[in-house]
């Protein structure tokens, strides 16, 4: 039986597409009220809303640039006011430019780091007052296997994902006193509509790449009451691809 999240309120960043969409829908399926964040994918966020409402779930849409502190605070406060608090934060919004290390400009480097790492840090800061009110919180950071294994396509992306792992560990220590757990998921390749070559699947022992639903199921488990003693962890979710 899947874990019930009835009565919980969740904020999912980058919920208009890919992993974030899958996570937002599954949280709602299990009873959570969901704030759907997006930056530029307005149509995607509306589709996520449609899917949740078809399930009979409660949700709202919030636009914000997670590289901007003021917009992050507004997002968190609006979500808390609309949903009656924030119990769960899923830091998922990320930027991947697919440039080689020395092809990056300083502005491009700053943008990736400000979204992927600083944005996560500031989102945690923004939800903290709302979680402290309840002496409860589940913060789940979406990283990547490339926080450990270098890419051959975007080293700055990898650098940001490596930083997320340590952000999760440090946050877990500091926030434990407030009943808040912080855990990280490190997915491998996930099919968000970009994988069409079957040869890609030869690198995966289970014979397929991941799906947003795979990540969503793990998010819901971590968000549940069954993981009250789990914090500061990073869980690799890659179908054993890192072993090859």
Q: Which tokens is 202 given?
A: 């030869």
Residue 238: which of 152, 106, 144 has the closest Cα? 144
Catalytic residue among 38, 104, 109, 157: 157
Rounded CA separation 91/171 (Å): 13
Cβ contact 201:190 at 8 Å: no
Q: Clarify whether 120 is annotated catalytic.
A: no
Q: Which tokens is 227 given?
A: 């993981």
Strand arrangement, sheet containing 9-12: 59-63, 33-38, 9-12, 88-91, 137-142, 180-187, 234-237
DSSP at 190: B
- Give the contacts of 169 (CB within 8 A, at least 6 positions apart): 182, 232
Active site (catalytic) residues: 157
């Amino acid at each position: 039986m899947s874990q019930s999240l009835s009565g919980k309120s969740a904020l999912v960043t980058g919920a208009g597409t890919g992993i974030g969409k899958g996570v937002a829908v599954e949280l709602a399926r299990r009873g959570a009220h969901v704030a759907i964040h997006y930056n530029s994918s307005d149509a995607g966020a509306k589709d996520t809303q449609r899917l949740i409402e078809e399930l009979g779930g409660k949700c709202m849409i919030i636009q914000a640039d997670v590289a901007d502190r003021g917009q992050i605070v507004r997002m968190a406060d609006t979500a808390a006011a609309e949903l009656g608090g924030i119990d769960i934060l899923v830091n998922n919004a990320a930027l991947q430019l697919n440039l080689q290390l020395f092809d990056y400009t300083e502005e491009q480097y700053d943008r990736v780091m400000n979204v992927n790492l600083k944005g996560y840090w500031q989102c945690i800061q923004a939800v903290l007052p709302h979680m402290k009110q309840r002496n409860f919180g589940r913060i789940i950071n979406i990283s990547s296997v490339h926080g450990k294994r270098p890419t051959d396509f975007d080293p700055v992306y990898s650098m940001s994902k490596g930083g997320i792992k340590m952000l999760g560990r440090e946050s877990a220590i500091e926030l434990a006193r407030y009943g808040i757990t912080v855990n990280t998921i490190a997915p491998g390749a996930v099919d968000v509509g970009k994988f069409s070559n079957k040869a890609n699947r030869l690198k995966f022992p289970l014979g397929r790449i991941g799906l947003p639903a795979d990540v969503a199921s793990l998010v819901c488990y971590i968000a549940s009451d069954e993981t009250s003693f789990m914090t500061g962890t990073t869980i690799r979710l890659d179908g054993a691809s890192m072993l090859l």
